Amino acid sequence: MFSKATANFVRHIDHEGSLIHVSRINDSRKLVPMKLVIIGHRFWLWQKPKYRMTEFTLSDVLQGDEVLRTKVSMDDFVTYKGTYGDKLYGKVNAEAGPANLTVEGQGTYKLQSCFGELKKEGLELKDLLRESSSRLVNMQHPQVQQLERRANVLAVVKDTIITTTSCSITQTRKEQCTFQGMLRIVGMLGKSVQVCVDDSNNIEANSDVSMEIPAGTVIAYSILELEIKKNGNFNICLPGTIGGIEADSPLSWPSHVSLDEMDSKHNGEKARDEGPLQNGSHDMDLSPLAELPKSTRLALFKGLQGTLRDRMALSYMEYLLEKLRSGETLYAAELEELPETQRELLSAILDQPVTDSHAENGQCGVPACLKAAHMLVSAMEELPDETLSLLCDSNPDFLEAFHTLMCRLKKSSGPLSIQCLPVPLQDRQAFQLAEQLLSSVSVTLKRDSSRLWMETGNEAGFLPLVLSLSTHGLSWLCKGQK
């Protein structure tokens, strides 16, 4: 709730600017000017940078005992109050043989943030550049050495946006579902049991959650990246430029690349399999998931679908898989934060042999299924909440059919014949679900009496790619489980 409120604030106050929203309220007290932030190295072209707070300031990682005395200014920023909400309505009528069903649902969602008068605390950039110009980074500092191993980027907090009074965030959710109809249930012994519902049945669910935010809470911040040479010389990058730590390999400098640059690197390269990427690299290979034992694939499929219901759990799972893929050790305390089903999911991934045939440059010895699972979870983490909700309840038949449709549409230079629509998607409800999935990532699935085609909206970005990867990976896990 706090993360959504701060993200909405940044989106409306500084859209495509330099501000970063604070996603965890526990990080708020750590965020002060001059504090160091780690920009997480991302494996995949669709992933947004991730920011992790440290316990150190810029002075802590410089040689010598002298503390930087850069001036800090405090200015009025804005007075902010925002209300965001959605009204949802849906109705499905289905007839299939003897079964008739009408489901009608509606709901409202409202998030109200009252941050009040906000202040902006920030470093005087000219002062910082002058004071730090003759200093060197201590390359033996534990924080710097850790960055060298992982090729992440170190940045310094320049500005913070702070609340000045106690304020509140309130989330209200109301949902109502009405269903009526006649269902035929086929019993285990092949007998038919008919259930008649004469009257409409209503289900209502309401929730109202409020949290008080104390004065002095940081809700957003901006950073300046550091460019660090092997000899300890460093530069503070001006806004809009990127940093990194110089390494022996030129591929590690800089340590992260813009999405446009990464996208161009993949253009023209052929994908290893006939998956969702026509333009991709051999690193984007989900086929090791299909090589897992059937029981393992089933456990992974159920575990991943369950994880999709909780975005925080999904993000944490991606974080753990990234650590494992980077060769780091998972500590007991980290695993204790996982529910039992997700601990089992991790065990299923790790309990596989190492296969050098799938090894990447510099990552020999990493199980191929771990790489594939990490890519799949990373792709799903980038999907909107609506998309994740739809994938939660998608059955194996639908996922395989949806993946097949996506592949056919991508390979086609124009509209497809309606005859190419996979059999499971010829059902009206299944086709509506396919439309909803694509619509959630700004893609419109259209059809007429003889043709079928997709239209991608301007806001889609990488979302169609990560949806295609997600359904591709889940369909691998579904194979043979009908």
**Rounded-to-integer distance, Cα 55 and Cα 278, Å:** 43
Per-residue pLDDT band for 482 (boundaries 50, 70, 90) equals: low
| Cβ atoms within 10 Å of 345's Cβ, excluding its own | 24
Decide if pLDDT at 368 tops 60: yes
Instruction: Give the pairing type, strands 244-245 and 218-228.
Output: parallel
DSSP state at residue 234: E
Decide if pLDDT at 387 tops 50: yes
Per-residue pLDDT band for 260 (boundaries 50, 70, 90) equals: very low
Query: Which ranges of 294-451 would DSSP assign to H, the alpha helix?
Result: 294-307, 311-325, 332-336, 340-350, 368-381, 385-392, 396-411, 428-439
Confidence at residue 108, expressed as pLDDT on a 0 to 100 scale = 61
Residue keyed to tokens 């038919």:
192
User: What is the SS3 assignment for 3?
Assistant: helix
Per-residue pLDDT band for 248 (boundaries 50, 70, 90) equals: low
**Rounded-to-integer distance, Cα 209 and Cα 212, Å:** 10
**Rounded-to-integer distance, Cα 462 and Cα 188, Å:** 44
The CA-atom distances, in angstroms, between 477 and each of 214, 224, 277, 392 are: 46, 42, 18, 14
Read off φ and ψ for residue 455, nearest 5 degrees: -130, 125
The CA-atom distances, in angstroms, between 193 and each of 102, 184, 186, 196 are: 19, 6, 6, 10
Tens digits of per-residue pLDDT, 55-87? 899 999 999 888 888 899 999 998 988 776 655
Confidence at residue 379, expressed as pLDDT on a 0 to 100 scale = 92
Domains of the chain, by residue range, sit at 2-252, 267-482
Amino acid, res. 250: P
Decide if pLDDT at 9 tops 80: yes
Tens digits of per-residue pLDDT, 164-199? 999 888 877 665 555 444 333 333 233 333 334 344
Read off φ and ψ for residue 405, nearest 5 degrees: -60, -45
Q: Are 1 and 111 in contact (CB under 8 A)?
A: yes
Decide if pLDDT at 302 tops 60: yes
Per-residue pLDDT band for 397 (boundaries 50, 70, 90) equals: very high
Task: Pick the closest to residue 211 from 6, 369, 372 (CA basis).
Answer: 6
**Rounded-to-integer distance, Cα 205 and Cα 228, Å:** 54
DSSP 78-95: EEEEEEEEEEEEEEEEEE
Torsion of CA 335, 340, 345, 349, to 10 degrees: 50
Per-residue pLDDT band for 206 (boundaries 50, 70, 90) equals: low
Q: Are 72 and 123 in contact (CB under 8 A)?
A: yes
Q: Are 241 and 226 in contact (CB under 8 A)?
A: no
Per-residue pLDDT band for 267 (boundaries 50, 70, 90) equals: very low
User: End-to-end alpha-carbon separation of the chain, Å?
Assistant: 38
Decide if pLDDT at 463 tops 80: yes
Read off φ and ψ for residue 6, nearest 5 degrees: -70, -35
Report the chain's mean pLDDT, rounded to a whole number: 76
Q: Are 83 and 110 in contact (CB under 8 A)?
A: yes
DSSP state at residue 279: B
Q: Are 478 and 301 in contact (CB under 8 A)?
A: yes
Write down the pTM of the prediction.
Answer: 0.60
Q: Are 173 and 107 in contact (CB under 8 A)?
A: yes
Confidence at residue 319, expressed as pLDDT on a 0 to 100 scale = 78
Half-sphere exposure of 328 (CA within 13 A, CB side): 13
User: What is the SS3 assignment for 347?
Assistant: helix
Average pLDDT over residues 446-459: 86
Residue 156 CB-density burial (10 A; 0-12 exposed, 13-18 middle, 19+ buried): buried
In which element (H, E) is residue 199 found?
A: strand 192-213
Average pLDDT over residues 241-250: 70
